[in-house]
Amino acid sequence: MRNNSGIFKRVPPNSSLQFDFVLSDKVLIEKYPSIERWGNNMPCTYVLLKQGTNIKQFNDKIAGLIELKCGESNRTLFVKPYSDKYLYGTYENGVQVGGRIEYVKLFSIIAILILIIACINFMNLSTARASRRIKEIGMKKALGADRKSLIIQYMGESIFMAFLSLIIAILLVELFLPQFNEITGKHLRLNFEISVLLSVLCITLFTGLVSGSYPALYLSGFNPVTVLKGKLNTSIGELWTRKGLVVFQFALSSILIVSVLVVYKQIEFIQNKKLGFDKDNVMYFDMEGRVAENPDAFLSEVKNLPGIVNASSTKFNILGLHNISGDVNWEGKNPNDKIDFHMQFVDYDFIETHNIEIKEGRAFSKDFGSDNSNILCNEAAIKIMGFKEPIGKVINLWGQNKQIIGVTKDFNFESLYKKVNPLLFILAEPSQNLKIMVKIKTGTEKETIDNLRKFYEKYNPGFAFEYKFLDEDYQAQYVTEKRIGVLSRYFAGLAILISCLGLFGLAAFTAERRQKEIGIRKVLGASELGIIYLLSGDFTKMVLTAIIIALPVSYLIAKNWLDGFAYRIDLEIWYFISVALITLFIAWITVGTQAVKAAIANPIDSLRNE
């Protein structure tokens, strides 16, 4: 029993450190004396520095501390601000190379691209419908209005539209924020702090200025005499600008669609990839109370329960092992090599419980007497050591000789972002282990868990039976990627929707502008199909151009993202062909509705309306 010496406030839910109570590190040291060795990396260390401490100078002082205390080591010490831990959590060789901040940047870029697409629509439709404002512009210029005042007017209209959109956007955010929080697993809420409010207002103002700049300059540049005579001709430059903007926005949309497809296929690959060990129907729970006092007796009885295939104990979860040591030596090792080996401390039957395949030799077994001086290695470890016939070879671990009795096939015990690292299985005293692993027979999960719970509560009174499944832990490693996949689908859908709205508006305007031409063509015998082809042809060329530009760019982006995985899908040609066809089909549907409407209109009405 330990006395309660204080009560702390509830840990905020957004903190990465979640715990129910705090114990002195002396309790941990009593159970694991090796934790005091300088080479042990089990505990995380938090340091409170004095105000004004120079971080770089401090890191320079502690950089070689481990090598000083342990001798040769390939590790170095450094400190980073705790506030950086969540977003900047990925390091290689002591250098920060990524983390969640990469996804923040990714979605920021996507948001900017969607905003650009919306701005392009505004520019296109404003300039395309300039003919509607010809007389207004001509009259104002004739009455003395200068170009500057007209630019201010049209810029003002654009900025007003942007701020009106901001109000609608805030309402939509408030409406959909609960669903967004559910998808992302966050607890976000609208917070109108001064800094946030100023940022939003600046973005809105910038959007209004960007989207209104080209239309304002274009409309204000009309010659009043030409305008009042009704002789406004569309310049080649204007047409190419408008077409270029359409190509640009559909290229962005195609890139987003390819990205969504690749993310989806990679996540599907991750979920279905065979890892080399059995993670399905394997549950685990912590060793507490009587279970920790005599795990052998507990495991012996658990194995006899109906529906239990096998059971064992281990120090660490098999997924994402964090116990690493460089203090491994063998005959012929280059003294300059500084190689880290992962360590898994296990009990008998651990290999069998996880169905890990033995390539050579055997697993730990009580049939051969004590295996405390023996060790198992995976293929990656044997490859590094360079043993042609590893069984019977001796390696030195922490000053103790261990004989290799078996070699397991490589299996993915870490994230698929990483290749299989060298791994050693060490037979530990059951009392030193922390978790019980249980393999359940498929199809008997519910009744087996109920029986195990009843047995546990009877065997270990006063302790709650709290368990997890190994396959859930595996899926949890990729929860960020899954959320990215879901969010990407929404963003890609939004981008293609905005692009199609712009294309729909241009198609409607084009059909309206060519109403008389269409009427004359129909009177002269043109078919409805021919009219549809005529109106759709230019837009089809623009979308095809966008696709031709987008596919190589999307290939490079997808390849760059997939390169972060050690195990990944191949970028097959059908991904890009299907996206091209989808984009083209969506564009045809968008333009086709207006083309069909114009084609089936009565030519007499078209000619009379002009």
Q: What percent of the chain has pLDDT over 90?
A: 20
pLDDT score of 610: 47
Minimal CA–CA distance to 471: which of 273, 322, 307?
273
Helix (H, G, I), strand (E, B) or coil at 190: coil
How far, in whole angstroms, is CA 484 from its chain's centroid?
4
Pair of tokens at residue 559: 């390849």
| Poorest-pLDDT segment among 156-170, 220-234, 550-564 | 220-234
Q: Per-residue pLDDT tens for 521-545? A: 767 777 777 777 777 777 788 888 8
Contacts of 416 (CB under 8 A, 6+ apart): 270, 273, 565, 566, 567, 568
- According to DSSP, the residues that pair with 395 across neighbouring strands are 330, 402
Domain edges within the chain? 25-98, 102-233, 237-275+473-610, 289-462
Average pLDDT over residues 138-152: 74
**Three-class DSSP labels, 44-57:** CCCCCCCCCCCHHH
The pLDDT-based confidence of 436 (bands split at 50, 70, 90) is very high
Average pLDDT over residues 212-223: 71
Cβ(312)–Cβ(274) below 8 Å: no
Q: Which amino acid is at 552?
A: P
Q: Per-residue pLDDT tens for 549-565? A: 989 999 998 898 888 88
**CA angle (8 as vertex; 6, 11 as ends), nearest 5:** 155
211 pLDDT above the threshold of 50: yes
Cβ(415)–Cβ(395) below 8 Å: no
Cβ(290)–Cβ(459) below 8 Å: yes
CB atoms within 10 A of CB 417: 15
335 pLDDT above the threshold of 50: yes
Minimal CA–CA distance to 554: which of 539, 585, 569, 575?
575
| Poorest-pLDDT segment among 370-374, 390-394, 423-427, 482-486 | 482-486
pLDDT score of 407: 95
Higher pLDDT, 606 or 277: 277
Higher pLDDT, 430 or 582: 582
Place of tokens 């419908």: 129
Q: What percent of the chain has pLDDT over 70?
A: 84
Q: How many angstroms separate the CA atoms of 250 and 496, rounded?
A: 8
Cβ(267)–Cβ(569) below 8 Å: no
pLDDT score of 375: 93
pLDDT score of 152: 83
Residue 500's alpha-carbon distances to 353, 401, 455, 571, 583, in angstroms, are 55, 70, 62, 27, 10
pLDDT score of 391: 94
88 pLDDT above the threshold of 50: yes
pLDDT score of 25: 80
Q: How many angstroms separate the CA atoms of 133 and 224, rounded?
A: 12
Higher pLDDT, 484 or 439: 439
Q: How many angstroms separate the CA atoms of 174 and 177, rounded?
A: 5
Q: Per-residue pLDDT tens for 489-525? A: 888 888 888 877 777 777 766 666 666 666 777 677 7
Average pLDDT over residues 337-342: 83
Minimal CA–CA distance to 262: which of 556, 585, 582, 581?
556
Residue 70: what are its φ and ψ, rounded to 5°? -110, -10
Model pTM score? 0.72
| Poorest-pLDDT segment among 181-185, 198-202, 235-239 | 235-239
**CA angle (134 as vertex; 130, 140 as ends), nearest 5:** 125
598 pLDDT above the threshold of 70: no
Average pLDDT over residues 311-326: 80
pLDDT score of 105: 80
Q: How many angstroms separate the CA atoms of 246 and 189, rounded?
A: 35
The pLDDT-based confidence of 377 (bands split at 50, 70, 90) is very high
Average pLDDT over residues 561-576: 87
pLDDT score of 448: 93
Residue 93's alpha-carbon distances to 74, 75, 76, 77, 96, in angstroms, are 9, 8, 8, 11, 8
Cβ(281)–Cβ(442) below 8 Å: yes
